[in-house]
Structure 1
């Protein structure tokens, strides 16, 4: 695969993830947030399972099966994934697809901030102005619906913290185990099981409701979770980091586009300004450290 093909694959991933917000919103017509999340991720795990099993066999041949600490790490990733997905799903029930897409993307500037707080990793200078810009963009976007953010916006903003923590630690766990599909399948499984157990205690699960939400669940589970995450892994092996950063950030734009075309989402001038500001900050915080000037500053 050459660089152009990889970039096209990553663009497809951005389209998939952006469109998945519509499926998540439509899925709420038949099931609750925990039920939707649980079935979605268990379905994704079943699709990735053959690849995970192949990696498990290869690790067994080399005598490098994951240890107890590795299992604990994957389980922790699954819990973070569950919290991010469920909070986002709850938020989608009372906010627009457009808002959910842009507010979820707040995890991008949160990652270096949390790395600084938790891992004591010095952030690039661009984190500070882009974080302030994202806060301003969030205020503008949420203010598009009134003086204060709607409740759904607050749930989605909370989910971005757990998405950021997941991004912060998933690379460390995957690097230690050296089996990305095994890690992916394991965390999907943990996320799905915990979500369904919680759903059994707090939500009413019916076959009619699952059938009503069937198509959105299949789309979100097979296309977004299994294919989207897998294609990201493949594409980023051949794409330049700066290319991947910009292309995957377009997820927010596609979420707004699909929200406009399929859900009737509309933004006023304040909302559009907020979306633009968040998108600019997301792109800058990802590519600034990759520029020659940014790398010189870090040294």
Structure 2
């Protein structure tokens, strides 16, 4: 009965938008923390600690609610989603944050809805209306404007490589969304998030051990807060809600609102890090919001 009531609640439009606003706010704020965390530990070590914390929280919830283990045939698919969504995305993103500002990094990663929509059209046969294509176009145009028209002309090789890595992580995230819909959409959302995060954490931990084994981790109140916030709230909570949204909306409708994340990321960067909000940032943000609106329109 509980699962039925939750499913019915998730079909309510206003609940969907409240949840979208919640996760985009938390994810936008977490970019500031991810950047600052590099002052205390290596990028792979932080990702490993973050998702160990998130996986522990999720497995505890699964155990307390007696959700049970996923069926054996689903394990390989959960491993694939864990590698695509957790391991690849956050290994590449955290490494790239060494060279790129947090706001610009979030903008590049949240080109993900474009890749999700394109892959869904190919593999899920989802029809994308001209209006929604317009929303995708506006959102991507907003991202490009915020990045700046002179982005390529004044960047070092490290920055360009970092941007390519984040774009690859966006493609990987988009692929994981489509794979989830193909193979795991009937599974409990708590099971999916708990086990994909567990398997993805193993991949990140292996990379951290090989690349940063022996590097010092500076434990302070701030660094502990960064790990707990990004692990429990931005990972365990937000990705559970994310899978719920993927199970109740088409791919474009579910993923396009995530373009709000870089808008919040830029806002928190301005508020907490003193980053400058330029005219191009304001125009780009307006285009992103317009794209979210158009992509959310039904018939």
1:89 Cα deviation from its structure 2 partner: 1.9
Partner of 2:204: 195
Of 119, 144, 147, which aligns to 1:142? 147
Partner of 1:296: none
1:237 Cα deviation from its structure 2 partner: 9.1
Distance 1:8 1:142 in 2: 28
Partner of 2:93: 88
- Residues 58 and 189 (structure 1 numbering): CA distance in 2 closer, same or farther, change over 3 Å? closer
State the Cα deviation string for residues 77-106 of structure 1 (Å, max 9, x = none). Answer: 010011112222223222222222332221
Q: State the TM-score, normalized to the length of structure 1.
A: 0.78
Is 2:278 aligned against 1:268? yes
Is 2:187 aligned against 1:181? no
Unpaired runs of 5+ residues, structure 2, are 1-8
State the Cα deviation string for residues 113-152 of structure 1 (Å, max 9, x = none). Answer: 1123445544333454445445543432222564446434
Q: Which moved more, 1:151-160 or 1:162-171?
A: 151-160
Partner of 1:217: 227
Unpaired runs of 5+ residues, structure 1, are 293-299
**Does the CA-based 8 Å contact 1:259-1:265 persist in structure 2?**
yes
Distance 1:97 1:169 in 2: 28
Distance 1:221 1:229 in 2: 11
Of 208, 214, 227, which aligns to 2:237? 227
Partner of 1:71: 75
Partner of 2:260: 250
Distance 1:32 1:141 in 2: 28
Distance 1:194 1:242 in 2: 29
Distance 2:148 2:192 in 1: 39
1:9-88 correspondence to structure 2 within 5 Å: 9-53=19-63, 57=66, 66-67=71-72, 69-81=73-85, 82-88=87-93
